[in-house]
A and B are shown apart, each in its own frame.
Chain A
Amino acid sequence: MFSLRRISTQITSKGTLLAVRPNLVLRGYATAQDVSTLLLVEHKDKAISSSTLNALTAASKLSDNVTALVAGEDPEHVASEVSKIKGVSKVLIAKDKVYEHGLAEVYAPLLASTQKQLKFTHLVASHSAFGKNIMPRVAALLDVAQVSDVIDIESPDTFVRPIYAGNAIAKVKSKDPIKVLTIRGTAFPPAPAGETGASSEAAPESEKPALTEWVSEELQKSDRPELGTAAKIVSGGRALKSRENFDKLIFKLADTIGAAVGGSRAAVDSGYCDNAIQIGQTGKVVAPEIYLAVGISGAIQHIAGMKDSKVIAAINSDPDAPIFQISDYGLVADLFTAVPELTEKLKK
């Protein structure tokens, strides 16, 4: 069982993931001219999701020829924004209310039929809940493998991805004619704005099987920076002991320095913070400039989600906590005195 009780016995890994290579090494049968990429755009409330911009950078490494697919009930505004991003050569628009809520049952046939008609060699999306839900279904419809959570692209058919919670790095070569990829956002920089707008046209028609119905959603609203793209993250663990402490200490410190807030699985499972902010193998993967871990022991599962942060600082009362093996700056102290002191001194 994936039990909390055993987490303390885990040993942490050390290491960072491979850096993004600046130059694409081409080899194998595919050349840049043969490569044409379809990027699935994720968006919500008329805004492009930031992880799509990272996925676009990955797609641009494959070729200059990136077509973006925007689907939704009212996709025109997002499509026009997408057309202005550097690297997008064309925008396909699928306008229908069935596409409003990202249901895989209608998105997968849309991507598969778009591929079949326009012969893309690569289908790319971000490794977000949206991309993870849709892309494997697309791959199955096309009878090809998928490469998940790609952190580097070596050539049009060779990709690098973490396995075993980031404890090993696998380089895989796809033998399929079509490559379906989901991209780890933190491994690629976001694509910048472009100089000219790309043209747009309607996406090919496809089946819209009414297999599922969207009922409702309950999203956490927050004024704080988004966890996935925040430059600074303050993260709390089980040592906070209660939700009140978590709110009082972690959120206050985060707000003082304009950071996003994350939590370990232990903190989420104990009810100290919401599941949506869990960082780790089973939660979000982040790579901010500064990651401050407070009262987090540093289980493998948690390390998997944050070890690519540029600078890691940790506050923990246990000098042997595994988090100190990977943190650049560790402070052995009781968080209940150190965090208020830190917050006060940072206010000045």
Chain B
Amino acid sequence: MSNLKILVGCKRVIDFAVKPRVNSAKKAVETANVKHSLNPFDEIAVEEALRLREKLGNNIVKEIIALTCGPPKAQEQLRTALAMGADKAVHVEVGKDDSEANILQPLSVAKLFRAIIEKEQPNLVILGKQAIDDDASQTGQMLAGLLNWPQATFASKVDINDDKLTVTREVDGGLETISCKLPAIVTTDLRLNEPRFATLPNIMKAKKKPLVKYTPDQLNVDITPRLEIISVTEPPVRKGGTKVESVEELISKLKQAGL
């Protein structure tokens, strides 16, 4: 079995429990003074890298690198990954604050990741299946396409045996298992694992772990957005809230609705 070096993607997003509000310019969602956290699917990615190391041992999983592309504050999410147990963080700094987060689109992120992969030479890359802000579900597949690596998306189970990766995927109607050789890209689905909480001592230790910074220029990657956001609006309000008193009344309403 060869040495494994795992790269995990970590995106800073508005916390999943916060209800986003469209900003006054109707061009984006309000990000100032809004709680941000690590994208839930990325947390699962970090956890899976850690579990692979626990299962295969330090001799095989040599290093786990957390990578983010985003504003200076995205370092908080890298520190979270480090506190969970990643060894090193790489930050490609883009934009001055969270309001500029949507400069970066999946194709640009995939290209920045490719540039970092060329430098760091990981042989397994684990990303979330989608970010809960733009809901695009593209970056992992795009990265695999750019590198011409195999992709195992929407993973609910990951096994590594020698150089062979076996992944169970969540597909419409059930599960599918595929296998491929490393290097490869995996994207995580919710049921892959239950991420651990970082403990206070580990949070303290994470502050001393290495964090390397780059800019897109240093990596020679053009991040010009290909999609122009014309507007962002609130969805139309649904008129709900009517209560019925009994099962009979519910049935009669449903019958009117065509049951």
Tell me which residues from 24 to 42 in chain B have a Cβ below 8 Å from any Cβ of chain A.
29, 40-41
A137–B142 CB distance below 8 A:
yes
A265–B190 CB distance below 8 A:
yes
From known contacts A140-B141, A219-B174, infer whether A2 and B43 are also in contact, taking CB-CB under 8 Å. Answer: yes
Please, how many angstroms separate the alpha-carbon atoms of A168 and B132 in the complex?
A: 12
- Per-residue CB contact flags for chain A residues 155-191 toward chain B (1 = under 8 Å, else 0) read 0001000111111111111111000000000000000
Tell me which residues from 136 to 164 in chain A have a Cβ below 8 Å from any Cβ of chain B.
136-141, 143-149, 158, 162-164
Please, how many angstroms separate the alpha-carbon atoms of A9 and B18 in the complex?
A: 9
> Among B16, B139, B145, B253, which residue has its beta carbon within 8 angstroms of that of A301?
B16
List, in ascending order, chain A residues with CB within 8 A of B248's CB. Answer: 345
A342 contacts B by Cβ under 8 Å: yes
List, in ascending order, chain A residues with CB within 8 A of B190's CB. Answer: 2, 265, 282
A14 contacts B by Cβ under 8 Å: yes
List, in ascending order, chain B residues with CB within 8 A of A158's CB. Answer: 230
Please, how many angstroms separate the alpha-carbon atoms of A18 and B236 in the complex?
A: 7
A287 contacts B by Cβ under 8 Å: no
- Per-residue CB contact flags for chain A residues 122-139 toward chain B (1 = under 8 Å, else 0) read 000000111011111111
From known contacts A10-B17, A213-B178, A289-B258, infer whether A330 and B243 are also in contact, taking CB-CB under 8 Å. Answer: yes
Stretch of A56-64, A71-79, A90-98, A319-327 at the chain-chain interface: A319-327
Q: For chain A, give the interface size range.
A: 35 or more
List, in ascending order, chain B residues with CB within 8 A of A163's CB. Answer: 29, 133-135, 232
Stretch of A81-89, A198-206, A310-318 at the chain-chain interface: A310-318
B244–A330 CB distance below 8 A:
yes
List, in ascending order, chain B residues with CB within 8 A of A144's CB. Answer: 107, 226
Please, how many angstroms separate the alpha-carbon atoms of A347 and B178 in the complex?
A: 44
Which residue in chain B gives the minimum CB-CB distance to A319?
A: B243
Which residue in chain A gives the minimum CB-CB distance to B165?
A: A212
B152 contacts A by Cβ under 8 Å: yes
Which residue in chain B gives the minimum CB-CB distance to A338?
A: B247
